[in-house]
Structure 1
Amino acid sequence: MDRIALLCTFVLIASSALAGEGLKDREADRLMQIIRDEIAREDCLWRESLAQLSSQTPDEQQKTAGLVAHVCSQKNREQIVQGATTEDLVRHEAAAYDQLWARERAIEIGRQICELKERGHR
């Protein structure tokens, strides 16, 4: 959620700052699509984490989080490496870091789910 809030803040600041320079509709649409994609990924991470991680042990969660992140980040990964050649290491590294972030986010969501369950049983 922090990442989404940060993206929304960026959009508000960037749009007001660039409005004077005549931000093109195409650029604004692209920026809004990036935000929609991030919101969709966060929703997917929560949905899949609830379905997959909530009944697993912490060790199992580590393994499953990678799968959840892979499934939920497919669109982001494709956009990052779109048009990249095999020699374009920067894009492939960016995709790998994005995948790593999504995996860590899935693990954190799993922890939050476990904490919520523990609070509910008290």
Structure 2
Amino acid sequence: MMAACPVMSRIALLCMFALAGSPTLAGEGPADRETDQLMEIFRDEIAREDCLWRESLTRLSDQTLDEQQKISGLVAYFCSQKNREQIVRGATTEDLVRHEVAQYDQLWAQDRAIAIGRQIRQLRARGVP
């Protein structure tokens, strides 16, 4: 069930992008502000996923599970920097909701980095370079 959650969120994000971007992509008028924001979020998520894979391939392949968990936190922090800045942009130190959302986003990215490391180990165990 845990593995399905990221897949479902990706599918939901893709559907939102398709619904919001379809008039713009079809040339039915200029993009509105919400569509621009949604497209920016979509691009940022793709960039973060790319970064998580790239950094995980570099750093997580030959470590023990404990080492992977520590390193995945650093990978997630590095790859989520832009997302974190966008979430807390304009927030005050008293704005706990945005900071909490940023922490959950960080935890999601760390879990994703661990899952990617696991996938890399499985692929290498099968002999895939």
**What is the TM-score with the length of structure 2 in the denominator?**
0.82
Deviation (angstroms), 1:16: 5.9
Which of 45, 50, 61 pairs up with 1:54?
61
Task: Report matched runs for 1:35-46 at 5 Å.
Answer: 35-46=42-53
Deviation (angstroms), 1:5: 3.3
**Contact 2:44 2:83 (C-alpha < 8 Å) held by counterparts:** yes
Structure 1 residues 85-109: Cα deviation after superposition (integer angstroms, max 9, x where no partner)? 0000000000000000000000000
Q: Given residue 91 of structure 2, which amino acid in structure 1 is its aligned partner?
A: A
CA distance in 2 between partners of 1:41 and 1:5 (Å): 16
What is the count of residue pairs matched by the alignment?
117
**What is the TM-score with the length of structure 1 in the denominator?**
0.87
Alignment correspondent of 2:26? none
SS in 2 for 1:86: coil
Structure 2: gaps of 5 or more residues: 1-5, 24-28
Which of 12, 27, 33 pairs up with 2:18?
12
CA distance in 1 between partners of 2:36 and 2:20 (Å): 13
* 1:120 and 2:127 matched: yes
**Contact 2:52 2:113 (C-alpha < 8 Å) held by counterparts:** yes
CA distance in 2 between partners of 1:23 and 1:95 (Å): 31
Alpha carbon RMSD of aligned pairs, Å? Answer: 2.1
* 1:65 and 2:66 matched: no
The structure with the greater share of residues assigned to helix is 1
**Contact 2:20 2:35 (C-alpha < 8 Å) held by counterparts:** no
Report % sequence identity: 67
Task: Report matched runs for 1:100-119 at 5 Å.
Answer: 100-119=107-126
